[in-house]
Amino acid sequence: MPKQSAIKTTVWILAAVPFIMVLGNSMLIPVLPAIQKSLHLSLLQAGLLITAFSIPAGLTIPFAGLLSDHVGRKMVMAPALVVYGTGGLLAGLAAIFIAKPYPYILGARIIQGIGAGGTYQLAMALIGDLIQDQERAQVLGLLEAANGLGKVVSPLAGATVGLISWYMPFFVYGALSFPIAAAIFWGAKEPKTKKRAQSLQVYAQNLLKILKEKGVNLGAAFLCGAAVLFALFGLLSLLSDLLEKEFHYGIFHRGLIIAIPVLVMAITSYCLGILLKQQLLKIMKWTIIGGLVLVALGLFLFTITDGVFLKVLCSSLIGLGTGSVLPSLNTLITSSAPTSERGLVTCLYGTVRFFGVAIGPPVFGLTSKFGQALIFWSTVGLVAAISVIALFFIHPNKVLPDSLKGGVDKKSPKNE
């Protein structure tokens, strides 16, 4: 196991991974109206720029996790970030040099999504490899907060560079991802373990054992993660459209307003990570259920309120709920498997998260055709149903290892 100083350095390097990854979608949200106008797209077509990134990422994540369990987390994350940045550069170049660039930008976003599939979830898996005790919850809260901070900064950054041109955000991806890839490759540390040498047959047997023992808990947790991100990203894309068309805000002001609910999410994630370190088992399940209730309440209130202030307040309630749910889910899922299978289990969770993000914007974009009531009430019902599933089927005591329950020696290898 690396020294504590090396682990701390690795944690801060890894915190940059969710930060850069979240730019992939959040940075484009305030620019979507400008893209829609410049390329003469429908709201649904503009939303597909989010989907074209998220679905390939979701499909790639399990394979990245499987590969990382055998060759190491760094050897997957660093090249993945290079692919991510390259896809962004290709999208920007297509916008400049091709007369009708929309299909080419979609293709470049697919490339970018493939790269994104080997990033954030492997950072969480590596944290799980390095930290064996209850501090894991706090560090995973830090990663989720970095993810949230990226969601705060990215609308502002997207709006700022979008003032130059609508395609400038694509170039930012390459400018940021290449240095972070280098830092991971040369600066991050990971524990050396012989478990990665196990055969695929043994690997599959161990994985099936985990799913048999903990599959119901994990399935319920996966649903919770997908639901809150579906609601958050769907609402943010719709809010961006409303701010432009109904309230006539400019691109930078849209970025500022969209940053408010995600800032609430980031602060909540960070603070909850600290609290989870101290009272992990006591509050984990209830932060998940309470967060889902807040998301459902925010969606309900959004449909019956008018004015920018109240709309942002309802959106912030959804951000508060999302920030309450995700740190607990991250700890639960990352801790459900030993090091040798953690990459794939964590990445399956990442796939579900990405699909939630991918589906949200186009579904909420259908409000222009079917009206807000149908979409919002359906989502409220979905989130409420998943909160009931969480109540009955999520049992952290059956999933977490003893080292996170405080019941045995934290350094004992058998706890992993």
Tokens of 3: 């020294």
Q: For 379, left (φ over 0), alpha (ψ -120 to 50), or beta?
A: alpha
Helices (H) and strands (E) in the chain, counts: 17, 0
Half-sphere exposure of 405 (CA within 13 A, CB side): 13
**Spatial distance between the Cα atoms of 11 and 24, rounded to a whole number of angstroms:** 21
Contact of 232 with 360, CB cutoff 8 Å: yes
Cβ count within 10 A of residue 225: 25
Q: C-alpha angle 320/386/23, rounded to 5°?
A: 45
Which pLDDT value is given to residue 80?
Answer: 95
Tokens of 406: 């405080």
**Spatial distance between the Cα atoms of 374 and 314, rounded to a whole number of angstroms:** 18
Fold of 4-415: Growth Hormone; Chain: A; (1.20.1250)
Question: What length does the chain have?
Answer: 416
The closest alpha carbon to 87, from 166, 157, 174, belongs to 174
The closest alpha carbon to 349, from 325, 369, 372, 371, belongs to 325
Q: What is the pTM of this model?
A: 0.75
Which pLDDT value is given to residue 1?
Answer: 59
**Spatial distance between the Cα atoms of 383 and 223, rounded to a whole number of angstroms:** 9
**Spatial distance between the Cα atoms of 411 and 33, rounded to a whole number of angstroms:** 52
**Spatial distance between the Cα atoms of 118 and 353, rounded to a whole number of angstroms:** 14
Tokens of 270: 């960070």
CA-based Rg of the chain, rounded to a whole angstrom? 20
Tokens of 13: 């390097």
Beta strand extents in 238-378 (DSSP E only): none
Which pLDDT value is given to residue 162?
Answer: 83
Q: Burial, 57: exposed, middle or buried (Cβ in 10 Å; 0-12, 13-18, 19+)?
A: buried
Per-residue pLDDT of the chain (416 residues; tens, 9 = 90+): 567 778 888 989 998 998 888 788 778 877 888 888 899 888 788 888 888 887 888 788 888 888 888 888 899 999 999 999 999 999 999 999 998 999 999 999 999 999 988 888 888 889 888 887 668 878 888 888 887 788 778 778 888 888 888 899 899 988 899 999 999 999 888 887 644 455 677 777 777 888 788 889 999 999 999 999 999 989 988 888 888 888 888 777 877 888 899 889 889 988 888 888 777 667 889 999 999 999 999 999 998 998 999 999 999 999 999 999 998 998 888 888 777 778 878 888 888 887 887 788 888 888 878 888 888 999 999 999 999 999 999 988 888 776 666 533 344 334 34
- The DSSP H or E segment spanning 133 is none
The closest alpha carbon to 157, from 256, 52, 233, 33, belongs to 256
